Each structure stands twice: as C-alpha cells, then as structure tokens.
Amino acid sequence: MKKLYFIAIAAILSLDSYSQAILPSFYSFENFTSVDSLPDGWTSNISGNFTYAVGQAGLAGKLDITGEFIKIETSESIDTLSFYMKGWIGGGPTAWTGTFKVQESIDTLTWVDLASYTSMSTTAYELFKLAPSNESRFLRFFFDTKILGCNVGIDEVSLTPSTILNTIDIKNEELTVFPNPILGNRVNIRSSKKITSIQLSNLIGQVVYSNNNPESNDLITSINLEKFPKGIYYVNIVNQDQTSTIKKISIR
C-alpha cells in the first residue's frame, strides 16, 4: 500500500514538472549557463561550455559535440521557426564541414529533417526561417556529424504560432478583431463575453502591450497602436470564462 502511495505521489510530481513552450516563444541564450536556465518547454543535453561570447546579439548557444541538441516542445501548431546560425572553426579547418540538422516530430519517436546543413558561414550569423508541419509539436537543433575543429553557434531562436489560430471558435463564442490589416492607429476587439485581459506580442515573442482590466463599450474593446512599429503581432485575448484566443494582426 505504501509503495502504491509513493508511486502516485511520484506521478503527480512528474506531471507538475512537465511543461511546454507557449507560443510565441523566443530565446537569446543570454543566460544559458545550464540546461535548467532554458525556457519552459526547452531542453538540451549540452554540457561544459554552453555559449559563445559573440552571437547575433550578445551570447549564442554553442553545440560542439556529435549528438548534442536543443529541443523545443509545444502543444500548438507552429507557423514559423526563425533563428540565427554561424559556423565556428579552429585548429586547422579553413571552412565549416559536418552535418547539422533542424528536425521536427509529432512524438519524438520519429524525427524528420526540416533542413540539413553541410556548410555554413563562418564570418557572420545568418538568418534562417523554416515552416514546420502543422502536426509537429517538437523541434530540435541537432548536431548530426561533428568534424574536428567545426562547431555551431545558434542565437535569437523564435517560434510563432500557426495562422490556423485565427479561426479558433471556442464554445461558439463570437470574437472579432477589426480592422485587420490595420491602416490607422487603433484595433478593435468585439466579443460576446467580457474580456478580462489582452496581451500583444511581436514576432519574436516579446510582450509589447498588456492590459488586465480593459474597458469596453458595447462589447467592443479598443487598443491604441500609434506607438507600435508596422509589422505582424499576436493578440492573446482572455474572456470571463478564462478562455484564451490568439489572433494574428498586421499593422501597416
């Protein structure tokens, strides 16, 4: 009986420690001093030296052993994976060689290559953008074949949610964001239920606006956007039932 009780406790603790990345998700490796410093839903088997002093902006994640990986898990469909990458060489090679992969999976049992790199720039970080399958819930950067003297730097990793989120209709709730695209300075949210919070994030996952007590007029809540640069943003809207809906908007 005590053994069963212990197993139940262990199972509960295991569930409590389980986490997934909430999209949009962004990481710049500035505080990557151990695998425990990664964001929720991010894991890695890197050990020893975790970063390069020079990244696209500040520090960069360092992969220098065959089999090393950085893995990301989410419960949402991923629209775009973007990242900066650079090859590091030393001790003999004059050009980067080896095999470095970005892979996707629905369950981590089978990994499919999104991209495979057998050469890369060693002079500057380059921006890459990939489009995973809507069914994939796991992504990883994987050092498949390391050649002596050739390492990889990864920086400014960003995941944005799939645009299929624009059509979410939960419990037949009518929720409309208009106008979209936005040509003026305001965007309006019409909801059949009271909105309790609104959060606006840019493409790299930075929260640029948050309101936990928005005012509404005839079920319409308005946001002033005049201080925000043009571009794509994600609006996370939570109603009185704690139902969360994400909408993609474009400021032009």
CATH assignment at residue 228:
2.60.40.1930
- Could you say which of 113, 138, 161 is where a domain stops? 161
Residues 43, 106 share a domain: yes
Higher pLDDT, 198 or 49: 198
pLDDT digits (tens, 9 = 90+) for 160-194: 887 543 334 333 346 888 887 888 888 989 888 88
What's the pLDDT score for residue 75?
86
Could you tell me if 88 and 190 lie in one domain?
A: no
Burial grade of 48 (CB within 10 A; 0-12, 13-18, 19 or more): exposed
- pLDDT tens string 206-248: 889 999 989 888 788 999 998 898 888 888 888 888 777 778 8
Q: Point out the domain boundary residue: 161, 196, 211.
A: 161
**Averaged pLDDT, 72-94:** 91
In a domain, 4, yes or no: no
Q: What is the pLDDT of residue 66?
A: 97
Lowest mean pLDDT among 5-9, 90-94, 226-230: 5-9
Q: Are residues 24 and 124 in the same domain?
A: yes
Same domain, 122 and 234: no
How far is the C-alpha of 85 from the C-alpha of 98, rounded, in Å?
14
For residues 95 and 24, membership in a common domain is answered with yes
- Indicate if the pLDDT at residue 133 is higher than 80: yes
Q: Kindly tell me if the per-residue pLDDT of 204 is higher than 80.
A: no
Which range of residues forms the domain containing residue 226?
Answer: 168-251
* pLDDT score, position 17: 39
Pair (173, 132) in one structural domain: no
- pLDDT at position 216 is 83
Residue 7 resides in a domain: no
Domain count, the chain: 2
One domain for residues 141 and 172? no
The kind and range of the H/E element at 5 are: helix 2-17
Counting residues of the chain whose pLDDT is more than 90, the rounded percentage is: 44
Is residue 99 domain-shared with residue 153, that is, in the same domain?
yes
Give the integer Cα–Cα distance in Å for 185 and 200.
15
51 and 112 in a single domain? The answer is yes
Query: Does position 104 have pLDDT exceeding 80, yes or no?
Result: yes
Q: Is 14 part of any domain?
A: no
Place of tokens 């209709």: 169
133-147 mean pLDDT: 93
Identify each DSSP E strand in 107-166 by its residue range: 112-117, 126-130, 138-146, 150-161
Triad 247, 250, 41: Cα angle to 5°: 50
